[in-house]
Chain A
Amino acid sequence: NAGVTQTPKFRVLKTGQSMTLLCAQDMNHEYMYWYRQDPGMGLRLIHYSVGEGTTAKGEVPDGYNVSRLKKQNFLLGLESAAPSQTSVYFCASSYPRTGVRQPQHFGDGTRLSIL
């Protein structure tokens, strides 16, 4: 049982390049999230999705776009990478059963360096 899978695990980009991070979950979860983790900053929410075809902004959405075309996949795009986007990116998912709080399940992260 894979859970939440992120690809790639590592990537180095040059400033101005674009790329897409893929998150896939096999738990039939409705909600999916993208976070970034920076030293001394904890996990900050970039974008999230409450279902297929819907996305919304989190705390730090600037410079990122997302898409949720299929329930199991959540893509994070950087159109023009900047050094400030050097970070570790985590994807998470959860299943919001009504009235029951659910913890989020995380992938193992993508370490992204922008030169």
Chain B
Amino acid sequence: DQQVKQNSPSLSVQEGRISILNCDYTNSMFDYFLWYKKYPAEGPTFLISISSIKDKNEDGRFTVFLNKSAKHLSLHIVPSQPGDSAVYFCAASRSTSGTYKYIFGTGTRLKVLA
């Protein structure tokens, strides 16, 4: 039972345009969400996070939106750059777990075309 889903395995976007990566979750107890970026042969690196008390968090070119009623979050990258080409994972956790465990999605491979 996949509690965190990334239904698009891949996405191609032209350089300079907006990239939108989506993530859905099923557990309403999740209250903290993160996005990680992963390049080949490297470990995931933290990108941006959002708490359930917010519906938007912005960091430079990256913005994460959270729609709690739809159990959906999205990552917007504007403008997209070739260096953004990577696999993006969303992850979710709930504060009551007490252990800061995260459930990860299956990832979306983003390719930014020059």
A binding-site residues for B, Cβ under 8 Å: 4, 31, 33, 35, 40-45, 48, 50, 56, 58, 90, 92, 94, 96, 101-109
For B45, give its contact among A33, A42, A43, A106 (CB under 8 Å).
Answer: A106
For B102, give its contact among A50, A56, A104 (CB under 8 Å).
Answer: A104
The total of interchain contacts (Cβ-Cβ below 8 angstroms) comes to 57
Known contacts A58-B101, A96-B100; A103/B46 CB under 8 A: yes
Q: Does B41 sit within 8 A of A, measured CB to CB?
A: yes
Q: Is the CB of B46 within 8 A of A42?
A: no
Q: Min CB distance, A81 to chain B, in Å?
A: 22
Write out the residue numbers on chain A whose beta carbons fall within 8 Å of the beta carbon of B107.
42
Q: Min CB distance, B106 to chain A, in Å?
A: 4
Q: Is the CB of A102 within 8 A of B104?
A: no
Known contacts A31-B99, A31-B100, A96-B100; A43/B41 CB under 8 A: no
